[in-house]
Structure 1
Amino acid sequence: MVDFLITITMIGVVSWALIFMVTRRIFSKRSFEFSNRLVSTLHAIVSVSLASLSVQDWGCPLCPLASKSSPQQMKTLAFTLSYMIYDLICCQFDKRVVLDNVVHHLVTIVGIVSGLSYQRCGTEMVAALWITEISSPFLHLRELLKEFGYRDTCLNLAADVCFAIIFSLARMVGGPCLTYATLSSPNPFLIKAMALGLQLVSAFWFYKILKMMKHKLKKRSHFRPQTKSN
């Protein structure tokens, strides 16, 4: 099983890189980030779907805790591991290297490798994957719209609001619940550290999102036409 997971990961890294290069070829007039965000959107959609399919009991999505991972869960995690390795490498070739994004990738990679090595905690890790990726399509949509020329439009604001709401509910409601369940269960130390690390990164991003939405709404109110009173 370990050899099979390594194969999935290696093939995945190469596949993501090829998809990126094809995307760059098709959208040659667009930016480096544009193509990478298309790849990231594809990963988010597929990973959320795989994570949903690997839930063993929807009556209790976090059951069983601290248990042996199912084959489906490990394949899902290997799939995401391949993307995280690709994206970490790919982002280093961009003009902007964001430190918190690099930390997020490293924490995730270490956590997934640990989970696959232990072959445990599949429930917690798949739930973390679902929580962290459910808002990603809206994150990328808002940036893609800007490149298409829809910056400061109602459509872009709608994408911002959708992203902010879904991120906040997933990361700051579901996230703390999952973190508590992971920390209070007999999980390996690295899994607990990953859970806590991801939640701290999520809290930092939540703070940045609040500032972003406050700025956008304030900026939009300034451009709203004033009605004259008689």
Structure 2
Amino acid sequence: MEDYIVKWVASGVVFWATTFLLVRNLFPNRSFDFCNRIVSTIHASLAVSLASLSVQDWSCPACPLASESSPWQMKTLAVTLSYLIYDLICCLFDNHVSLDNSVHHLVSIVGIGAGLSYKMCGSEMVATLWITEISSPFLHARESLKELGIKDTDLNLVFDILFAVIFSLARMVGGPYLTYVTLTADNPLLIKAMAFGLQLVSAFWFYKIVRMVRYKMGKRITPKRIVTRELKARK
């Protein structure tokens, strides 16, 4: 791995940790998780922007396949790698560790680290970064609204639906395609394994999201049916 990339990753970890401390200072009455989600939203917005600027050919965003990474792609991936390292450590401090999220972080860290070490697969990896982060702001918004007391409201439902739709399209439409082209291209075995692992995690999360949407819609529909029955009974 290039020395300048190592420096970018190290300084990035410091940057994200400092950003968290600043947010924590601005919102002293909010939870650790709430402050961390603000940092995560900043990263997601930055990652999508940098990934978009890193695309070399918008007619084929993942092209050229299995090619040497450009300096801009390397720096973009270094920013996200530093964030993932920070966030994994941050979750340990919060005592809020989930197995699926930890696996996602470890797979992503190993995958991006491998890509930076090989100095290749930049096109595929920034496309993956775009796909995986595009739904993140909506995820963090829906969770943050709960702490703000805006739960089981129309606004909260809007963010639930937006997150579910964007996640499903990105991870279960774009994701499988990107996994396929990564597996079939002349990429190192480790990167292929990490691409497949990330898609498995996405599929598991998709299953959980479907259950969440069914539960939320069920809670909405059931009271309306009860009210309708009561009105009919009165008549």
Give the TM interval when normalised to the shorter protein: over 0.9
Distance 1:226 1:68 in 2: 62
**How do residues 54-69 of structure 1 correspond to structure 2 at under 5 angstroms?**
54-69=54-69
Q: Which residue of 2 aligns with 1:85?
A: 85
Distance 1:87 1:146 in 2: 21
SS in 2 for 1:226: helix
Q: Does 1:226 align with 2:227?
A: yes
Q: Does 1:200 align with 2:200?
A: yes
- 1:134-168 deviation line (CA, Å, top 9, x unaligned): 00000000001111111100100000000000000
Distance 1:44 1:149 in 2: 24
**How do residues 21-36 of structure 1 correspond to structure 2 at under 5 angstroms?**
21-36=21-36
Q: Which one-letter code corresponds to 2:38 in the other structure?
A: L
Distance 1:65 1:96 in 2: 37
Distance 1:62 1:44 in 2: 19
Distance 1:51 1:190 in 2: 22
Q: Which structure 2 segments of 5+ residues have no match?
A: none
How far is 1:29 from its partner? 0.5
Q: Which residue of 2 aligns with 1:188?
A: 188
Distance 2:100 2:8 in 1: 27
Distance 2:86 2:172 in 1: 27
- 1:198-220 deviation line (CA, Å, top 9, x unaligned): 00000000000001111111012
Question: Percent of aligned pairs with the same residue?
Answer: 66
Runs of 4+ in structure 1 deviating by more than 3 angstroms, as ranges, are: none
Q: Which residue of 2 aligns with 1:130?
A: 130
How far is 1:221 from its partner? 1.4
SS in 1 for 2:186: coil
Distance 1:101 1:61 in 2: 27
Distance 2:71 2:126 in 1: 12
Distance 1:176 1:160 in 2: 23
Distance 1:91 1:62 in 2: 31
Q: Which residue of 2 aligns with 1:170?
A: 170
Structure number with the higher helix fraction is: 2
Q: Which residue of 1 aligns with 2:118?
A: 118
Distance 1:63 1:32 in 2: 40
Q: Tell me how many residue pairs correspond in the alignment.
A: 230
The two structures have a TM-score, normalised by structure 1, of 0.98
Q: Which one-letter code corresponds to 1:226 in the other structure?
A: V
Distance 1:40 1:210 in 2: 23
Distance 1:223 1:24 in 2: 39
Q: Does 1:157 align with 2:121?
A: no
The two structures have a TM-score, normalised by structure 2, of 0.96
Q: Does 1:95 align with 2:95?
A: yes
Distance 2:98 2:48 in 1: 24
Distance 2:37 2:88 in 1: 13
SS in 1 for 2:3: helix
Q: Which one-letter code corresponds to 2:87 in the other structure?
A: D
Distance 1:220 1:95 in 2: 33
Distance 1:178 1:59 in 2: 14
Q: Which one-letter code corresponds to 2:192 in the other structure?
A: K
Q: Which structure 1 segments of 5+ residues have no match?
A: none
Distance 2:9 2:61 in 1: 26
How far is 1:96 from its partner? 2.1
Name the larger-Rg structure. Answer: 2
